[in-house]
Structure 1
Amino acid sequence: MTDTPPSLSWTDAQDLPQQARWRSEAGVPAPRRLQPADDTLNADTAYRLACEGTGLLWQGDFHNARQLLQALARRVDRKPRKLKAPATTLSEAFHQHRQGQAQRARVLGLVLVPVNADYSVPLRRAPDIRQALQEVWGEPDGQPSVLSLRELLGLVGAHEWRKKGVPVPALGPEARIHPYYGVFSPVRGEYVDLVAKAPWPAGFSPDQPVFDIGVGTGVLSAVLAKRGARQVVATDQDPRALACAGANLNRLKLSAQVQLQQTDLFPPGQAALVVCNPPWLPARPSSPIEHAVYDPDSRMLRGFLQGLAEHLSPEGEAWLILSDLAELLGLRSREQWQTWAQEAGIEVVGRRDAKPQHPKASDPTDPLHKARSAEVTSLWRLRRAAA
């Protein structure tokens, strides 16, 4: 028995009853209160209604809806949040920052737009976004929908990234990875370069099996295959990530060297090289699409370390790509994860470091600037501990 998708009901400008499916890729529940809105609604009233939890179903001009969203964002950003006390540690600053982001998303997510059954948007001056929605939602199912304008703009932005792609110099001067919506994009190139430049383990042969745990867009599998690895087995739980990786590997003409498997962490068997780039921050995702960034209770990292000895050949090596941002924010110590490794029969035999170059690392207005500016990304070399 399948769950019935949530729906919204309202009365349109002609006093006719309407109903549509509620959609949220972020897993946000449908608003309990709904009010039609159009170009006559001023930003202050809209802000008050959104803060009260009222969904504003837009029936006016599409570009005016975007302007209203921008006006609401300005009001959210300038209104001081009521905090129990100023943050005295980076850990407190991180949690306050996350709370502020969540509150901002709640308010801005209440400007809603309708979508017809064929994925067209029935608003004046609305762009044609049918392809962008089809990439995420699949073929139209014959039902009209409602979603937040903020999320819709995110879907459109992801569609543009998917078309344009992200340049990855490690794969060649013209090579690009095309991320799907909800799949972590390799915009931070330092971790890709670490995998591209790390020396192969001693005695490693390109004919030996390699595991890529958590394939995502397929960028690390592509780098390993480009370097000559002929038997890469790449895993992921997310069907969207596997589809994304498959498309990228096919585009790069590397699919013959990489086998994709849908599974949690490890495939069956052992490998001479195991690569894993888990989410770096041990915090609870506020939406399903944040699982690539936040790993609650370090579940993936712990699972990787606990299962590694079983899936690593006796003379094999693992490359764990990890930022120290969690350490700098006081969310998890280096000693903690290395203790997990030791308890699982794994030892650290070396590491290679890279300094991130992303814009937030040099943005003094970022509330986490102190940690981001000191961040280092490392490729940790791991092996089975000597008996």
Structure 2
Amino acid sequence: MLNCQIHGARDLRVEDAPVEVLSPTQVRVGIKAVGICGSDLHYYQHGRVGDFLIRAPLTPGHEASGQVLEVGSQVTSVRAGDRVAINPSRTCGQCRFCRMGASNHCENVHFFGSASKWPHMQGAMREQVVVEASQCVPVPEGLPFELAAFGEPLAVALHAVQEAGSLLGKTVMVVGAGPIGALILMAAKLAGASRLIAVDIVDQTLAACTRVGATQTINVAKDPAALEALAEGKGQVDASFEVSGNYAGLANCIRLTRPRGTIVQVGTLSGNSEACPFNQIMVKSLSFVGSFRFVDEYAWAVDYLSRGVLDVSPLLTDAVPVARVHEAFALAADRQRAMKVMVTF
């Protein structure tokens, strides 16, 4: 089978690889679409994500959908020919975090396309994957594979909105309007938020957020003064989502969120933190919570996509065949042109 592997920074190769053996509880899926995520881009561009360094060839990709090719002898939940979205997280169900309902912190998790463990956890950017039957969520015939693969990033967004508490009638601000930020806006709207503000430095991504429900967009690079109205009265925002992974973005969340409001940290922070007013978290009695991956939200996400509750198609920039995978990564890295790019098989 064809297998995309990152050997180091800017070293992505499409190679032949042997197929995996199928156990009685597992399913073989022919991959049809895989989304390129920010972490995939970091592995490709830098050979690492934060402290997670590629030490052996890594197959990226954790946003995937496909068609069942074969099932193990004990599998009854899906059958050959079924169209499925694939949950990239296989948790143990036994550790203390799984038992407390926080499986996103499973001590023994296997998560597609991550160098956080050794041996690395290989991802879905290949012709076939073998997964547990429980990781396969059936999708209807009418849902394109490219949209079914949005299940994972939408699950991340739904989990972040869950962490914020009730948003009914609230003013919500998302700082960092990439794919996850746009999906958080959609999830917040579904949760009842009445005002949806997207903040970014790229007009094209802000335009995409408008298409999926943002009621206001602010390009802080071009018009930083536009934030000042949101700072009045100790802050006009009820709940902020920091998705940019930038301390300047977090500073704006702290400054613009009202006393006793909530900030959800979704992005992985980097850069200089010296100018970030952390003391205001105390002064304004803010709730500051982190949001990591998802728990039950993957099934919710696929259900919403399957029933058309949420339409993510405005966020799909292009679907690029695996033969042009290098073009796909170049496009995905260009925020002036792309929101979500899929690699197809």
Pairwise TM-score range, normalised by the shorter structure:
0.3 to 0.5
From the CA coordinates, give the structure whose radius of gyration is larger.
1
Q: Which has the higher helix share?
A: 1
- TM-score, normalised to structure 1, is 0.31
- TM-score, normalised to structure 2, is 0.34
Q: Which has the higher strand share?
A: 2
Work out which structure has the larger RCO, using CA pairs closer than 8 Å and 6 or more positions apart in sequence: 2
